[in-house]
Amino acid sequence: MIYPIPRPQIPACAWQRPLGKGWDKPYTVRYASNLDDGAWHGMPLGGFGAGCIGRSTKGDFNLWHLDGGEHIFRSLPACQFSVFEQPEGEAAQAYALCTEAPVNQALSRWQWYPPEQGTYSALYPRSWFKYEGVFKSELICEQFSPVWAENYQETSYPVAVFQWTAHNPTDKPITVSIMLTWQNTVGWFTNAIKSPTVKVRDDGSPEYEYRPKWGDSTGNFNQWIEDNYRVGCLLNRVQPHSEIQEGEGQIAIASSRNPNLEIYYLGRWNPSGDGSDVWDYFAGNGSLPDKEDETPAAPGEQIACAMAIRFTIPPGKTKQIPFILAWDFPITEFKQGIEYYRRYTDFFGRSGKNAWSIIRTALKHSDVWQEKIQAWQKPILEQSNLPDWFKMALFNELYLLTDGGTLWTAATENDPIGQFGVLECMDYRWYESLDVRLYGSFALMMLWSRLDKSVLEAFARAIPKNDLTSRIIGYNQAQAVRKFAGATPHDLGAPNEHPWEETNYTSYQDCNQWKDLPSDFVLQVYRDYVLTGKEDTEFLWECWQSITQTLAYLKEFDRDGDGIPENSGAPDQTFDDWQLKGISAYCGGLWIAALEAAIAIGQILIKNPPLNPQLQPTDYPDCIEEKINTYSNWLKQARSIYHDTLWNGEYYRLDSESGSKVVMADQLCGQFYARLLGLPDVVEEKYVKSTLNKIYDACFLKFHNGEYGAANGVLPDGSPVNPNDTHPLEVWTGINFGLAAFMVQMDMKEEAFKLTETVVKQVYENGLQFRTPEAITAVGTFRASHYLRAMAIWGIYGVLTGWE
């Protein structure tokens, strides 16, 4: 159908890169054992927990997170868009829309799109490929998945929409054909090793062997579907089991027909060959031979399908053509026998035979989805007081909610919207590391608040549990128990075990000894209550018993009874290569803020009895009053010594026993959280401002002349305590964003935005886009890509807008 419509309006703030343009000196990984896939990353497609597929700025599909918690980065050239064009009376041309030919000589018959002839743009969950300088017609492909704030249905869908807009700016008709080819990869995305061996890497963190069934296409077959006005190809597999298992299901590509379009297809072709069985037809006149072939693939054989839509655009006119990619892999398996259905199966069923149902839904509702995404983004994009680079990073850092090995399970009676989890990163593959999400969960809390609460409820359930399994700690090779009752776990487990049930997967440090985790838990619980309307008292009740248990556990580390738990001299907090000893500014401030939060929670609960009587203590409300009195006494002690022990006249010392003069960037995180939640200040405002000014000067401006961001900890003149230090000399993206939010809170907006812009540019100008790392260094290296904490940038926006 011809539409009298303008071309798509790509927001000016979207991140942009010429198609296929490389990087002269992209950041490289700091440790050889860490993941470094290179700079060819683009925005991921797919809903939360549904698995996702990434398409790079070259135009190839190269990231495959279709197995829950697992990472595959590998280009599949046969998964591709191609365009044929022939203006009236002129020669035809055809290109596959990737700027690089396959390295193994496959598809050698195909013509590949020249680099830097157009622009890639991204503003998650939307991205655009704009093709310029090659075709006479003006072509834009907008791609998106139905992700928008506070949506708990469509945001889970395993689907990508490709909205093609073709405009004819000439005075002659132009014939255009758009082809989508796709390799049948059903069955590839599961671990062939059912009981993988866990090893400890050179950096002390555990990892397990993952060997996907990549290339195992035996029994795969393709079916051409014509369903009223819907047409497409269903990529299937002869199911070898009576009940569906992980990796089994369907993929589908589709579009819609109308009288002005010509639809062509090829149901089966060889993606390992030269591609002539597709290309000779398509490059000739934009057609395909219309052959169906449902023969299953033999062992060692690869198969793909193709569909093309040909149409003519009159002079000055515009056409829009939708293509849909959907997949249905309903099961995620963790360790052998532990299986969960994905959230989207609550809406499409669990048989693994619903890819076409997803196609139907997408073709019917994609326009509405697009409008809802635009309506969600519009109020932020229209804020003239926010710079474009900030708007860009604000949305694009949400990529991790799709990309981060994300889990979102089907609903149960205990978890009415399912259970949710994002990996700390691809190198540290365990879910929802609590210390990291102290900053990194601002985005989830602000945009999908029920999911954030579900994560904290999982921590609440885990705190009382005991796991006395002994294991070796990577940092010092000591033996330690995995999880003590009362200890707040560091994480909610890993994909090779049983997430939510088997916690504390990481063994680099003994997290039972960490002095920040219990405080982090209490503060996040109270944060989610305060900043989501101050009405969800049932959520507070769900967490109360665990709050009291973990605060009591942490207080046991107050060895001298002065009211503040002491750090042990080992790295026993989020900076887990950095030794703190005695009372520390970082952990001590979090402790004081957490006690204030616990008192506030207790007072709320006294006024609001639980609807669920099982949550109500037998001696309610007296027992809550008793806890409040206890916390008040601890607070009185702690407040009396915290400032006097650590204040040095300009800033707070790292700790009370090491004698270090380092300026720690995140030293007053507890104060930031206290003011954020309307709690009494940890320290007086004049000391806060003095400290922030010193951090800004030493850690940012004097650290390599402010070129990289704020280092975690340096001497007052910006120099290192030890030039061989690890964490102190790294610029942590999420810590910088948290620090910037703190500065905005303290009326230092100009400094906050200068710091934030510096870090954002380091990420998006050095090939780190859509794989934002935890840490960058002053020598152009990074550590821990696809990192959770970087979503802390939403904390800046929250403080700026009053969390509206």
Q: What is the 3-state secondary structure (H, E, C) of 289-332?
A: CCECCCCCCCCCCCCEEEEEEEEEECCCCEEEEEEEEEEECCEE
Three-state SS sequence of 450-496 = HHHHHHHHHHHHHCCCCEEEEEECCCCCCEEEEECCCCCCCCCCCCC
Least confident range of 183-187, 429-433, 475-479, 514-518: 475-479
**Predicted local distance difference test score (pLDDT) of residue 203:** 67
Q: What is the pLDDT of residue 6?
A: 66
Burial 436-472 (b: 16+ CB within 10 A, else e): bbbbbbbbbbbbbbbbbbbbbbbbbbbbebebeeebe
In contact, 490 and 517? CB cutoff 8 Å: yes
Measured CA to CA, the distance from residue 16 to residue 396 in angstroms comes to 12
Q: What is the mean pLDDT of residues 738-767?
A: 98
What is the C-alpha to C-alpha distance for residues 533 and 574, in angstroms, rounded to an integer?
29
pLDDT confidence tier of residue 732, bands split at 50, 70 and 90: very high
Nearest in space to 508 (alpha carbons), one of 594, 565, 435? 435
SS3 content of the chain, % helix, strand, coil (to 5): 30, 20, 45
Q: Which range has the worst mean pLDDT, 202-211, 272-281, 705-714?
A: 202-211
> Do residues 278 and 77 touch, judged by C-beta distance below 8 A?
no
Using the predicted structure, report yes or no on whether residue 1 has a pLDDT greater than 70: no
Instruction: Give the type of residue at 488.
Output: T
pTM: 0.97
CA–CA dist 213, 694 (Å, integer): 53
Average pLDDT for residues 230-246, to the nearest whole number?
Answer: 93
Contact (Cβ atoms closer than 8 angstroms) between residue 383 and residue 4: no
pLDDT digits (tens, 9 = 90+) for 545-558: 999 999 999 999 99
Question: Mean pLDDT across the stretch 646-657?
Answer: 98
Give CA separation, 376 vs 120, 128, 147, 761, 802, in Å.
Answer: 22, 18, 10, 25, 18
- Position 4 scores a pLDDT of 60
Give me the pLDDT at residue 267, please: 98
Residue 498's nearest CA partner among 337, 296, 311 is 337
pLDDT of residue 2: 45
Average pLDDT score, the chain: 96
Q: Taking Cα atoms as reference points, which of 593, 590, 724, 594 lies closest to residue 666?
A: 590
DSSP line for 122-170: EETTEEEEEE-SS-SSEEEEEEE-S--TT-SSGGG--EEEEEEEEE--S
pLDDT of residue 360: 98
CA gap 642, 93 in Å, rounded: 73
Query: Is pLDDT above 70 for 229?
Result: yes
State the DSSP string of 649-678.
SSSB-SBSSS----EETTTTHHHHHHHHTT
pLDDT mean over 406-432: 97
Share of the chain above pLDDT 90, in %: 92
Please compute, for residue 663, the number of CA atoms within 13 A of its CA located in the half-sphere on the CB side: 27
Beta bridge partners of 119: 18, 130
* Residue 302 contacts residue 270 (beta carbons within 8 Å): yes
Cα distance between residue 224 and residue 253, in whole Å = 10
If we measure between CA atoms, which residue out of 17, 151, 177 comes closest to residue 96?
177
Q: Which two tokens stand for residue 408?
A: 């979102």
User: Which of left, alpha, beta for 19 (phi over 0: left; psi -120 to 50: alpha)?
Assistant: beta
